[in-house]
C-alpha cells in the first residue's frame, strides 16, 4: 500500500457522479479505470480488470445495483490481492439493508469496505468547485493516502470509522430532502423551511441512533451539510420529487434512493413516532396532502 496514494483507482458506474469524480481525479494526475454498462463510458473491458488492477474501487451506481456489482467483484477477487471498495450510493435495499451491510455481506472478508457521504453535487464537482465528504472505512490505514489523493482533486474528506452511521445518514438525508422540496413546492417560505430542516435533523438523529449508528454523524457534512446542499437548490432528484408532489405533478413510475429508503423505513420502524417522516410517507405513497407539512408547525412544539 503506497502512502502517497494509489497508482490506479477503479470507478464502477460512470454516470453523472462517477464521471465527475473520475474526471477530477484524472485532472489531479491519478489514473482512473471506468467500467459502466454503457460501453461509451467504459475505459476497461470488465469489472474483472478493475478488481485485478485497482487497490481502491468506487461504486458509483444506484443502491439497487450495488449487490450485483459486489457479487461480480467477489467473483474475481483473490486473497493475495486485497482492495478497498467504497459505496457512494445514498440508499438502502429491501429489508432496510444499508450499504455497509451490503458490502460486508457480499465482498470477500479480506477486502476493506467504505461508505462515502457528504455534500458532493456532481455538477459542481464537474465545474471544479470543491466538495466535502465523510469517508467511513473499516480499515483506517487506507484513509490518509486516499485523503491526500482526493484533496488534490478538490475532494476534501473527513475520517470516520462508523460506516453504519454514515450509510444511515446518507440514506435518511434523501428522505428529508423530499420534505424540503415539498415545502418549496407549497411556497411556505424560508422561515418554514428553516424550521422543517431543524425537525428533519432532530428525527435523523433519533433514527440513526435507533437503527444502530452514532447520532453524532448527523451533525457533520454527511448529515447537516448534505441536507443543506441537497435542499437549497434544484440539483437533487429527491428535492425535485418533493417539489413536484406539492405542485401536483406525480409520476408513479419514478424511482429514487429517497423513495426506496422511505418505503423500506416504513417496514422497519413505527413512522407514527416520527411526524415529519410520516407526512412525507403519506404524501408520497398514500395520496396524503403535502399541505400536512404546515400542520406540523402547531403539532410539534
User: Average pLDDT of 229-237?
Assistant: 87
Q: What ranges make up the beta strands (E) of 36-178? A: 56-59, 84-87, 92-93, 97-98, 112-119, 131-137, 155-160
pTM of the model: 0.94
Mean residue pLDDT of the chain comes to 93
Q: How far apart (Å, rounded) are the C-alpha atoms in residues 93 and 22?
A: 26
- 1 pLDDT tier (thresholds 50, 70, 90): very low
- Contact between 166 and 218 (Cβ < 8 Å): no
Q: How far apart (Å, rounded) are the C-alpha atoms in residues 222 and 217?
A: 7
Residue 210's Cβ-count burial label (10 Å; 0-12, 13-18, 19+) is: middle
pLDDT for res 248: 87
pLDDT digit string, tens, across residues 249-278: 877 788 999 999 999 999 999 999 999 999
Q: Is the model's pLDDT at 172 over the cut of 50?
A: yes
pLDDT digit string, tens, across residues 21-48: 999 999 999 999 999 999 999 999 899 9
User: Average pLDDT of 121-142?
Assistant: 95
- Contact between 140 and 161 (Cβ < 8 Å): yes
Q: Is the model's pLDDT at 301 over the cut of 60?
A: no
Q: How far apart (Å, rounded) are the C-alpha atoms in residues 213 and 166?
A: 8
User: In the chain, pLDDT over 90 holds for what percent of residues?
Assistant: 86
Q: What are the chain's domains?
A: 8-161 (3.40.50.720), 165-299 (1.10.1040.10)
Element (H, E) at 182: helix 163-185
- Contact between 242 and 232 (Cβ < 8 Å): no
pLDDT for res 234: 79
pLDDT digit string, tens, across residues 87-109: 999 999 999 999 999 999 999 99
Q: How far apart (Å, rounded) are the C-alpha atoms in residues 33 and 8?
A: 7
Long-range Cβ pairs for the range 293-299 (8 Å, 24+): 293/179, 293/182, 293/183, 293/186, 293/188, 293/192, 293/196, 294/186, 294/188, 294/192, 296/196, 296/199, 297/192, 297/195, 299/275
pLDDT for res 3: 45
- Contact between 252 and 196 (Cβ < 8 Å): no
Q: Strand 155-160: give its sheet, edge to edge.
A: 31-35, 8-12, 56-59, 84-87, 112-119, 131-137, 155-160
Q: Which whole-number Å values give the CA distances from 118 to 28, 122, 200, 273, in the listed order?
A: 21, 12, 16, 26
Which residues does the annotation mark as catalytic? 173
- Contact between 185 and 245 (Cβ < 8 Å): yes
Amino acid at each position: 500500500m503506497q502512502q502517497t496514494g494509489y497508482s490506479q483507482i477503479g470507478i464502477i458506474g460512470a454516470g453523472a457522479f462517477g464521471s465527475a469524480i473520475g474526471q477530477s481525479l484524472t485532472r489531479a494526475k491519478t489514473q482512473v479505470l471506468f467500467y459502466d454498462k454503457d460501453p461509451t463510458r467504459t475505459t476497461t473491458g470488465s469489472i474483472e480488470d478493475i478488481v485485478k488492477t485497482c487497490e481502491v474501487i468506487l461504486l458509483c451506481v444506484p443502491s439497487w445495483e450495488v449487490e450485483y456489482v459486489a457479487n461480480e467483484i467477489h467473483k474475481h477477487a483473490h486473497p493475495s490481492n486485497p482492495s478497498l471498495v467504497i459505496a457512494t450510493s445514498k440508499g438502502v435495499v429491501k429489508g432496510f439493508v444499508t450499504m455497509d451491510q451490503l458490502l460486508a455481506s457480499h465482498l470477500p472478508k479480506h477486502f476493506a469496505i467504505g461508505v462515502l457521504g457528504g455534500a458532493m453535487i456532481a455538477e459542481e464537482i464537474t465545474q471544479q468547485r470543491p466538495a466535502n465528504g465523510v469517508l467511513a472505512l473499516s480499515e483506517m490505514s487506507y484513509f490518509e493516502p486516499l485523503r491526500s489523493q482526493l484533496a488534490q482533486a478538490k475532494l476534501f474528506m473527513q475520517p470516520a470509522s462508523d460506516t453504519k452511521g454514515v450509510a444511515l445518514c446518507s440514506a435518511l438525508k434523501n428522505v428529508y430532502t423530499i420534505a424540503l422540496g415539498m415545502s418549496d413546492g407549497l411556497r411556505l417560505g424560508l422561515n418554514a423551511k428553516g424550521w422543517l430542516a431543524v425537525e428533519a435533523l432532530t428525527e435523523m438523529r433519533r433514527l440513526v441512533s435507533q437503527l444502530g449508528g452514532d447520532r453524532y454523524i448527523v451533525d457533520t457534512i454527511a448529515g447537516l451539510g448534505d441536507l443543506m446542499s441537497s435542499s437549497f437548490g434544484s440539483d437533487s432528484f429527491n428535492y425535485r420529487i418533493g417539489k413536484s408532489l406539492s405542485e401536483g405533478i406525480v409520476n408513479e413510475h419514478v424511482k429514487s434512493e429517497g423513495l426506496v429508503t422511505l418505503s423500506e423505513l416504513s417496514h422497519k420502524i413505527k413512522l407514527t413516532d416520527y411526524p415529519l417522516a410520516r407526512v412525507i410517507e403519506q404524501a408520497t405513497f398514500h395520496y396524503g396532502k403535502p399541505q400536512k407539512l404546515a400542520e406540523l408547525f402547531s403539532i410539534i412544539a
